[in-house]
Amino acid sequence: MSTEYAEYTGKMKKTIEAVANQFASVRAGRANAAVLDQITVEYYGVPTPIQQVASISSPDPRTLIIQPWDASCLKLIEKAIQISELGINPQNDGKVIRLVFPQLTEERRKELVKQVHKYSEEGKIAIRNVRRIAMEDYKELKKKSEITEDDLKTCEKDLQKLTDDYIKELEALTAKKEKELYEI
């Protein structure tokens, strides 16, 4: 029976991965290049991830240095960071951009936790949508008499269990990220 749900399992897994990537972009108190993953730069008219136009290094736990390979995109990177939801003002010295991560205030931690919960809720909605689509597919099969009423009930139970399992995994991921935000 599990091969029947492979398509839906795959979609739910992808949702978890997408939410995990969003969580990585939520900055904690220490410098982490993953916070720049969601930020793109208009490079020759094409939205390009910062990692593709510059090297990123972390000389200490609270600083990221972004050094573009093409000096002409220094201002573009600076502007992209300023308009992002990162909440850090970039320091441009003409050659590199420095991002200094301040200690998190209690207020900022609460904002970040809200952001994490928002991503988590969006993930849960996406998982439930996969379940809804799966149920519609199976109801259609029932309508065409390709499966029995009992098969439909079994599918419903199995899909609900699958949904519950992935939502639990998402909640564990959320709790871990929340704890990480309060440890620093």
- The pLDDT tens digits for 110-120 are 888 898 999 99
pTM: predicted TM-score of the whole model, two decimal places: 0.69
Assess contact for 66 and 76: CB atoms under 8 A. no
Query: By CB neighbour count within 10 A (0-12 exposed, 13-18 middle, 19+ buried), where does 37 fall?
Result: middle
Using 50, 70 and 90 to split pLDDT, how confident is the model at 129?
very high
Residues of the chain with CATH 1.10.132.20: 2-24+105-183
Which residues of the chain are in CATH 3.30.1360.40 domains?
30-100
Q: What is the CATH T-level fold of the domain 2-24+105-183, as seen in this structure?
A: Topoisomerase I; Chain A, domain 4 (1.10.132)
Confidence of residue 27 (pLDDT cuts 50, 70, 90): low
* Of the options 3.20.20.80, 3.30.1360.40, 3.40.50.300, 3.40.50.970, the CATH number for the domain spanning 30-100: 3.30.1360.40
Query: What's residue 29's pLDDT?
Result: 61
